[in-house]
């Protein structure tokens, strides 16, 4: 075996999900079901089992068989895969045959076809590689993955003869009571000899259910005395998602796996039961996650951070040594040593530079806050650019939305500026470097650098010395720590 093609079946109706969304797009740990399968398929070449294969295997992009709600799947995965179409959903065997042209168009022509189902998201690359390796070692016509399930499961039963040879796979609907008591089940991962696969699928008759089952090929190969090999995997890896109960089971297993990966990689998770981390999240070692913390999307977190309790972080980048307590962050960048909360909210486009401190009940949106700046309690910064070492007093508001023109304007605050408590900044407005506003100022005009302005509306009262001793310069400002 020198090359293999991978075919992932994703055309089924998914009726048991009772959803208008394609079953394969239902999220599991923040990624569509199908994405988990594709990731496992794509990472086969980096596994230990694959390395042990003597032949050099080359694989193209996986071929995904689309049918029901094909457009939704196409939109989600684009050119990550190659695609084949199954116009009518006549069963898993029929679906694989729909991929024949796509497989046969590959150069070099693969000897082996690896088939996976798009609804088994927990299958890992290592076990897929083991199925390939076993198939190669045994020079089998079919090699498939099995698991042990309890007798009430809805998986196809693996029927063996008295010598332990596989004879057939029987689907639950057609199984006799005796066959139903078999606990070895079909996980839905197969390697086939390509030439044999096309010949046999083309000749396969419709079964009693009126469909073409891929599993019926086992009996065909058995009758021809062909080599059929199996690999035994864990039940978890084989879990198929047909309904939302199984979706929740898969979610639990996947989440536990993700938490364990992080813990083994050096992240402390105080309470795994209340910590949720999506599969795309990266966290560096020595970071501590406190209870009730939910980290989703493509989020990256540095080392020695302390996050939580009660914190949600989505699609964000967090540097090293940050402390985030009881806060919510979306599409936010925190550089190193930012401290936040409790009860802060960073909305999309918030970027807090190194050492920023954000107090409780603050909100920042689409704004940059420079190094070492303080954004004190009860503040709102929207569409603002704030320089380094700025003090934003408690209750400061950028009034960025003009209700009359429906436009949003920017506020710019220079480095070293001091915005007194309860200031309302009405943009477009620029406050110069080291300028100051008095408490309760309404700032609707630019304030030049090194000047003090206050009042409603704020007007420049005087120029400030360039010394940085705030207390000496403006005792009347009522700085609040
Ligand atoms: C299938 C297996 C069963 C196995 C189980 C493992 C068959 C006949 N049965 O049952 O032995 O234990 O998976 O999870 O294969 N699909 C198509 N086109 C179709 C029908 C299905 O692309 O016409 C796709 C589905 O989108 C799905 C996969 O094939 O991703 C499996 O189909 P499904 O109906 O879920 O099969 P199961 O009943 O779970
Ligand atoms: Ca299934």
Q: Give tens-digit pLDDT for 160-193.
A: 999 999 999 999 999 999 999 999 999 999 999 9
φ, ψ of residue 83 to 5 degrees: the values are -130, 150
Report the atom number in ligand 1 closest to the C-alpha of 187: 6
Using the predicted structure, report yes or no on whether residue 468 has a pLDDT greater than 70. no
Instruction: Tell me the per-residue pLDDT of 182-235, one tens digit each, with 9 for 90 and over.
Output: 999 999 999 999 999 999 999 999 998 899 999 999 999 999 999 999 999 999
User: Is the CB of 170 inside a 6 Å radius of any atom of ligand 1?
Assistant: no
Q: How confident is the model at residue 467 (pLDDT cuts 50, 70, 90)?
A: low
What is the percentage of the chain residues whose pLDDT exceeds 70? 96
pLDDT greater than 70 at residue 478: no
Q: Is 351 a catalytic residue?
A: no
Q: Mean pLDDT lowest for which of 83-92, 170-179, 259-268, 401-410?
A: 401-410
Residue tagged active-site, from 68, 135, 376, 377: 377
Report residue 404's pLDDT band, with 50, 70 and 90 as the boundaries: confident
Q: What residues are paired with 414 via a beta bridge?
A: none
Amino acid 159: pLDDT: 98
Percent pLDDT > 90 in the chain is 91
**Ligand 2 centroid vs 25 CA: distance in angstroms?**
14
Pocket of ligand 1 contains residue 113 by CB under 6 Å: no
pLDDT of residue 466: 77
pLDDT for 392: 97
Report how far ligand 2's centroid is from the alpha carbon of 59 (Å): 25
115 - beta bridge partners? Answer: 7, 190
pLDDT digits (tens, 9 = 90+) for 8-66: 999 999 999 999 999 999 999 999 999 999 999 999 999 999 988 866 677 789 999 99
Task: Please report the atom of ligand 1 found closest to the CA of residue 214.
Answer: 15
Q: Two tokens at 228?
A: 């059929």
């Amino acid at each position: 075996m020198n090359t293999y093609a991978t075919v992932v079946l994703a055309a089924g109706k998914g009726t048991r999900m009772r959803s208008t969304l394609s079953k394969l797009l239902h999220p599991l740990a923040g990624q569509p079901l199908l994405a988990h399968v594709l990731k496992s398929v794509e990472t086969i070449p980096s596994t230990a089992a694959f390395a042990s294969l003597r032949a050099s295997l080359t694989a193209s992009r996986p071929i995904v068989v689309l049918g029901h709600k094909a457009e939704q799947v196409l939109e989600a995965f684009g050119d990550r895969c190659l695609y084949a179409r199954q116009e009518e959903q006549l069963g898993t065997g029929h679906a694989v045959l729909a991929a024949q042209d796509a497989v046969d168009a590959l150069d070099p022509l693969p000897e082996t076809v690896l088939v996976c189902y798009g609804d088994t998201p927990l299958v890992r690359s290592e076990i897929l590689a083991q199925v390939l390796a076993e198939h190669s070692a045994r020079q089998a016509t079919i090699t498939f993955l099995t698991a042990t399930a309890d007798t009430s499961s809805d998986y196809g039963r693996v029927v063996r003869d008295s010598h332990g040879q596989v004879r057939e796979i029987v689907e639950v609907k057609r199984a006799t009571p005796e066959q139903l008591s078999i606990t070895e089940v079909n996980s839905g991962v197969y390697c086939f000899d390509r030439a044999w696969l096309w010949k046999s699928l083309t000749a396969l008759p419709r079964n009693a259910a009126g469909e073409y089952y891929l599993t019926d090929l086992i009996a065909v190969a058995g009758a021809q005395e062909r080599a059929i090999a199996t690999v035994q995997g864990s039940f978890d890896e084989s879990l198929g998602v047909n309904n939302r109960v199984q979706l929740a089971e898969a979610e639990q297993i996947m989440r536990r796996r993700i938490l364990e990966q992080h813990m083994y990689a050096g992240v402390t998770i105080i309470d795994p039961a209340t910590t949720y981390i999506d599969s795309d999240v990266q966290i560096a070692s020595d970071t501590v996650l406190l209870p009730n913390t939910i980290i989703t999307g493509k989020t990256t977190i540095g080392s020695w951070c302390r996050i939580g309790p009660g914190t949600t972080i989505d699609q964000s980048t967090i540097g090293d040594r940050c402390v985030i307590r009881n806060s919510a962050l979306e599409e936010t960048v925190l550089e190193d040593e930012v401290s936040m909360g409790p009860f802060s909210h960073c909305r999309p486009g918030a970027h807090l530079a190194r050492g920023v401190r954000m107090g409780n009940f603050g909100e920042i949106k689409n704004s940059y806050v420079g190094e070492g700046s303080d954004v004190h309690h009860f503040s709102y910064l929207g569409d603002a650019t704030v320089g380094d070492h700025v003090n934003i007093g408690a209750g400061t508001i950028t009034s960025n939305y003009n209700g009359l023109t429906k436009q949003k304007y920017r506020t710019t605050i220079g480095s070293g500026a001091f915005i007194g408590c309860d200031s309302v900044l009405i943009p477009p407005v620029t406050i110069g470097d080291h300028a100051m506003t008095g408490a309760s100022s309404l700032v609707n005009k630019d304030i030049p650098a090194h000047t003090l302005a206050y009042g409603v509306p704020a007007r420049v009262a005087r120029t400030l010395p360039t010394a940085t001793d705030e207390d000496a310069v403006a005792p009347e400002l009522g700085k609040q720590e």
